[in-house]
Amino acid sequence: MRLLVLRNLSAVRSSFSRTMSSLAPGHLLQGAHWDYRIENAVKGDNTHASAVFKAKVVPREHAPNAPRWAIIKKASPDDKTATENLYREYQSYLLPGVASAKCFRQMYDVIDNHTIALEWLDTTLADVKYQPDMRTYGLIKTVLKETLTSCDVLDGQQCVNTDYKPANILLSGIETGHVIAKVGDLGLVVPAGYLFNAQPYAMRAPEVFLGQACTKPSQVWAVAAMLLCWIKPGVLGAGDSPHPYVNEAWCMAKIKRLFPNWYIPTPDEVERPTLKSAVEFAIRFSKEELIPQAISPFEKESQKVNIPEQLRDLLRLMLVVNPSERPSASAMLGSREFQAVQDAMI
């Protein structure tokens, strides 16, 4: 079995190398409206299933309003996960309202069955450090509006994005004060209730840790958790977990410390063996381990960083541990708390 795994890994690496070499700097790809000249590979946060490149757009005659840059994503035909994610991303743009919504990165071209061209933005939320100043507050206001709008658009199609994270929030204009924020990487947009054990650890909703599928409320939690752990790194997630085996339990313990009213079932109350182990360790970690114990309940923890009270109120409203009581994205966009953030953080 180990030999088989090593052979498969070697095959994937070999295929990835071929993909990288086939799109070397200077390589020209032909699109439907304009062409794309490869500039360089894009590293990102090292979680890309596909190879990603920055490309210069080469306009053709009678092709006005061509952008200057684009992102090229290419999935290796030998990589099943990358191919599936790329296909899902393409399919996501066919959902009514997605391609026309300003909250999503534009898809420019389907170059072939394994290659797409997308809108380029300057940076990501992951590359920006939180600062308690008006420029950052303006950035947060825009990110909140666009991410919640993206949730609402997907809600209308009975779909959810299971991959909200700072690296997938694309930004331009942050130095000008006229911030553009868009949601990118739609390869993990799936029908609501379809995918289990999903979402990045720091953004994973409590009910998903407990074995439920990702649903509409799960992505509302993810947006709020994403902002919270961007503002205060380490408060959620498994980055400081003592061992990969206990990552889920470690994350659950942090949620329990932030929200003491969250009920973690005992091992006898769950069926899946791995979940039995996770809840057992989560209960223990929340009481015994130093790092989770250093996390205070949300009201106190959120006072440890300098954030506007309006933002604290909004995060509190979104971070409800019971998914049946958590507001929808549509409700959040129409809430007094959301409007207060939009009015105050200018």
Contact 151, 220 (CB under 8 A): yes
Instruction: For tokens 């690296």, name the residue.
Output: 167
Question: What type of residue is 143?
Answer: V
State how far the alpha carbon of 285 is from the alpha carbons of 117, 155, 249, 290, in Å.
Answer: 45, 35, 8, 8
Calpha distance 278→259 (Å, rounded): 18
Domain covering 123-344, topology: Transferase(Phosphotransferase); domain 1 (1.10.510)
Whether the full predicted model's pTM is greater than 0.85, yes or no, is yes
pLDDT value of residue 293 = 85
CA distance 67 to 34: 10
pLDDT in tens, 31-79: 988 999 999 998 877 677 789 999 999 998 877 789 999 999 999 999 9
The two three-digit tokens of residue 94, written as one number: 């066919």
Pairing of strands 69-74, 35-41: unpaired
Q: What pLDDT is recorded for position 345?
A: 67
Which whole-number Å values give the CA distances from 18 to 13, 30, 51, 113, 222, in the listed order? Answer: 9, 19, 11, 16, 35
Q: Are 29 and 40 in contact (CB under 8 A)?
A: no
pLDDT along the chain (346 residues), means of 10: 34 44 84 93 77 93 86 93 94 96 96 95 96 92 97 97 97 90 96 95 97 97 98 95 95 97 95 93 91 91 94 97 97 96 81
10-119: CATH topology is Phosphorylase Kinase; domain 1 (3.30.200)
**Residues 267, 249: Cα–Cα separation, whole Å:** 12
What does the pLDDT read at residue 7? Answer: 34
C-alpha span between 267 and 276 (Å, rounded):
4
- Average pLDDT over the chain, rounded to an integer: 90
pLDDT at site 9:
36
CA distance 170 to 327: 25
For residues 72 and 35, what is the distance between their CA atoms, to the nearest angstrom?
11
> How many residues make up the chain in this entry?
346
Euclidean distance between CA atoms 178 and 145, whole angstroms: 14
Name 219's Cβ contacts closer than 8 Å, sequence gap at least 6: 151, 154, 160, 161, 162, 164, 329
**Please, what's the largest Cα pairwise distance for the chain?**
69
Let me know if the fold of 10-119 is the same as that of 123-344. Answer: no
pLDDT in tens, 253-298: 999 999 999 999 999 999 899 999 999 999 999 998 888 889 999 9
pLDDT of residue 344: 83
- Enumerate the β-bridge partners of residue 112: 115
HSE-CB for 278 with a 13 A CA cutoff? 22
Every domain of the chain and the residues it spans: 10-119, 123-344
**What is the distance between the alpha carbons of residues 318 and 201, in angstroms, rounded to a whole number?**
17
